[in-house]
Amino acid sequence: MKTCFQWFCGVLLTVAAATVIADAPHRVLWDKRPISIHLQVGHERIIHFPDDVRYWLPDMVKRQVSALAANGVLYVRATESFPTTRIRVQGLNDQQVYLLDITASEAAAASDELIVMTKESTRNRSKEVAKYKTTDDWRVRLTRYAAQQLYAPERLVDGDSAIKRIPVESKTSIPLIRGGLIEAVPIASWQGHGLTVTAVRVRNLSRQSLQLQFDRSDSHQALNLSYLVRGDWLTATLQHDRLGEMGSETDTTTLYLVSNRSFVESLSLPIDNRALQNRQTGKEETQDG
């Protein structure tokens, strides 16, 4: 009986240990060699990077993989099995390029979360955290919070008692971006530390893809938003820097604008509030009827 009891306890400990290991994030050091990542079909895998990132999916797997990058995290889900395929991920600030060799099957992944580290990101972490706390940039904090609220899975959305959501002053199309190629519609606003961040849905109205950026480019498909965006903003940040042609799945993204005044005041456009209110009231009456 004692032997059986010891064996049973051993099984319980083994199962418990396996559960802890499976739930713990897996860490890997980027050493210029491609990182192998397994996806279980139908299950989301969360990949953390030291920096905010963008990604490129090869055409061969675009129909088999859904991916989203937000706040330095890449959320990846496979809808069906596929052999090893290499994708490219790039840091937006440090321009570091990471190569991921991704494969998908019905087999379970070792962990739902994977943390990609670099030698630089592992140095003096305690000092960096202390420095960040003393130089907390509310423009960055508000932008990241807004992106998390709109894009991150619900289970990963954290609240912030110092940030509160406020009503959007206008949810109709506004002439935010000059040129007529992009439609802009404010969708949500938050306030914190005397600043306002507004998320604006931007949609490509042209029949060609557009590269969005905040500097000069020789490409005829590139739009320099630093000259085209109207208003007075402290920062302007894009969720994605490329828009597909009108009607495609990628023709829309989000622009985050941080200001030290309300959105309408920062936009500096002559808006007839009475006309806007009448238009919104008329819309509500139409919907009610």
Residue 51 main-chain phi, psi, to 5 deg: -140, 160
**Adjacent-strand bridge partners of 53:** 91
Q: What is the DSSP letter of 245?
A: P
CB 147, CB 157: distance < 8 Å: no
What pLDDT score was predicted for residue 22?
A: 37
**Adjacent-strand bridge partners of 45:** 76
**CATH 2.60.40 in the chain, residue ranges:** 25-120
Q: What is the chain's Cα-based Rg?
A: 23
What's the CATH architecture for 25-120?
Sandwich (2.60)
Q: What is the DSSP letter of 174?
A: B
| pLDDT band with cut points at 50, 70 and 90 for residue 190 | very high
pTM above 0.85, yes or no: no
User: pLDDT per residue over 231-282, tens digit each?
Assistant: 999 999 999 888 999 999 999 999 999 999 999 999 876 544 444 444 444 4
Give the pair of three-digit tokens for residue 34: 């491609």
Which of 100-109, 165-174, 188-197 shows the lowest per-residue confidence on average (mean pLDDT)?
165-174
Q: Order across the sheet with 26-29: list the strands.
A: 26-29, 113-117, 44-48, 73-78, 65-70
Q: Which of 178, 188, 171 is nearest to 239 (CA)?
A: 188
**Adjacent-strand bridge partners of 29:** 117
DSSP-derived pairing of the beta strands 195-204 and 44-48: unpaired
User: pLDDT per residue over 26-62, tens digit each?
Assistant: 888 899 999 999 999 998 899 999 888 888 988 889 8
DSSP-derived pairing of the beta strands 44-48 and 113-117: parallel
What pLDDT score was predicted for residue 71?
A: 79
